[in-house]
Chains A and B, each alone.
Chain A
Amino acid sequence: MTIGVLALQGDFREHARMTLALGADVRLIRQPEDLRGVDGLILPGGESTTMGKLMGSFGLDHAIMECFNNGTLAIYGTCAGMILLAREIQDRTDQPRLGLLDVTVRRNAFGRQKESSEEDLAVEGLDPRFHAIFIRAPVIVRTGPEVKVLAAVSEGPVYVQQGRILVSSFHPELGTDTRIHQQFLRLAAQSHTQEV
């Protein structure tokens, strides 16, 4: 199985390292043609405005939407990746995004960097709790009917799934616990063989 990691900006190397350690083939994605033959795609943490603009300038936005809509591509977005996948961004209607996930996100929902935090988070299907690192993190403030909430904090959902899309506000790639990445690899494997 080949997992692509969008490598325009952000902590793509940490995602690549964790995914590689789990036995997948990993490819860094910088051009539309890099997406050929990829089963899953990770949109890393970073600055969502930067990645959104670069995706648009180099045609990756259309290429990703094409692979998702006309294929079986599974996508996992962390933090900035969650924002890029959201249908709506609160108070930022003009920010470039893919809009594949039927949610509204609020950027920097906890506040600025001094409110960045880490905590043991209860996640559906994971025992013990997952140590989650939130950095200027977004939360979801509206979920569509197809969206399943897998973890939430008092501000709102922070880990959700909609079919072949998985997103988290927090950064599993900055820690050593690989369980979230394992969930994504299973999702990518399933979507490859059957309709999710």
Chain B
Amino acid sequence: MAETGTTRVKRGLAEMFKGGVIMDVTTVEQARIAEQAGAVSVMALERIPADIRKEGGVARAADPGLVEQIMEAVSIPVMAKVRIGHIAEARILEYLGVDFIDESEVLTPADVTYHIDKWQFRIPFVCGARDLGEALRRVSEGAAMIRTKGEPGTGDVSEAVTHMRSVMNGIRKVQSLLEDELVVEAKNLGVNVELLREVKTLGHLPVVNFAAGGIATPADAALMMTLGADGVFVGSGIFKSSDPLPRAKAIVAATTYWNDPKVVTEVSKGLKEGMSGIDARTLAELDKMQVRDN
């Protein structure tokens, strides 16, 4: 008898994304361009992070009608975002049958204390994290995939770099700990010691770990892969640039051939202007999306 919605099939879909690029899209036309460029999945949303940042206000889950149109338009898996803690938005996406749900700090949180209990869903979830503790807390809530938060909508990769290095550094530290030290580290990180022991044994997170938040160029994607990302999300970086299709193709190639400077060089040549961007260090604390949950 076939069993659906298991942890293995949820985490398994994320395994299939590895080495690939997941692209933010706001229209059917953009979704088709992303598929044509070689995206492994598209993230359907109403406004890309750069516009959410600019326009302000409360950012909510996209119109289910738009998500459905995008699901019908492409053959690759479709993801969509819900507000942190918004169980009902997630139930809508589950009902629609999207392939992955992003419980995302890019949208305005609906619950300032609790995240969604993701074990209760048949659809896998991805969540953002800035360090190992945050990543493992999301995994223990049922996340089947983790991504760095970075600072979305800036086109500045530095925060994604900080978060990826922090997660990797946390893992290396755990690998060096003795059993009694592991118990204290679990307490410090606010995570279950069993889960931490699993990380120590595996040498990586128990789920796939992507980079996200500020990636705008093929070299940015290659950088994140160099730092140990399993793949990349590109939000505003593609459709806020002046040449979405060639840029999207170039980022896909650079994610595969991150370790081959010849390829990364060739695909980077002649791209038109990228998104203009914001230096993440100039953002006021209140304007940062990454601090909306922990």
Contact = CB atoms under 8 A, between A and B. Distances in A.
A113 B19 contact: no
A174 B208 CA distance: 13
A119 B99 contact: no
B16 A46 contact: yes
Contacts of A80: 16
B185 interface: no
A30 B256 contact: yes
A7 B124 CA distance: 25
A23 to B, nearest CB: 22
B17 interface: yes
Interface string A133-153: 111100000000000000001
B19 A136 contact: no
A49 B5 CA distance: 24
B54 interface: no
A136 B99 contact: yes
Interface string A174-193: 10000000000000000000
B16 A92 contact: no
Contacts of B40: 9, 46-47, 50
Contacts of A113: 9, 13, 77, 97-100, 123-124
A174 B41 contact: no
B16 A117 contact: no
A134 B8 CA distance: 10
Which of A53, A92, A114 lies at the interface centre, i.e. has the most chain B CB atoms within 10 A of its CB?
Answer: A114
B286 interface: no
Contacts of A134: 2, 9
Contacts of B1: 119
A171 interface: yes
Interface in B13-45: 13, 15-20, 35, 38-41
Nearest to B257: A30
B12 A174 contact: yes
Contacts of A111: 97
B75 A108 contact: yes
A97 interface: no
Contact of A112 (B12, B39, B99): B99
A67 B162 CA distance: 44
User: For the complex, would chain B's binding face be called helix, strand, loop or mixed by DSSP majority?
Assistant: loop
A134 B3 CA distance: 10
Contacts of A9: 18-20, 40, 256
Given A135-B13, A136-B99, 13 more contacts: A30-B260, A47-B20, A49-B38, A49-B75, A54-B252, A57-B253, A108-B75, A113-B124, A116-B13, A117-B2, A117-B9, A118-B3, A135-B9
Interface of A: 7-14, 30, 45-47, 49-50, 53-54, 57, 79-80, 92, 107-108, 111-119, 133-136, 153, 171, 174
Interface of B: 1-6, 8-9, 12-13, 15-20, 35, 38-41, 71, 75-77, 94, 97-100, 122-124, 252-253, 256-257, 260
The 8 closest A-B pairs by CB, nearest first: A113-B99, A117-B2, A116-B9, A9-B19, A119-B2, A47-B40, A53-B38, A11-B15
26 contacts: A9-B19, A9-B40, A10-B20, A12-B18, A12-B19, A45-B16, A46-B17, A47-B41, A49-B35, A50-B39, A53-B38, A92-B75, A112-B71, A112-B98, A113-B98, A113-B99, A113-B100, A113-B123, A114-B5, A115-B4, A116-B12, A117-B3, A118-B3, A118-B6, A174-B8, A174-B15
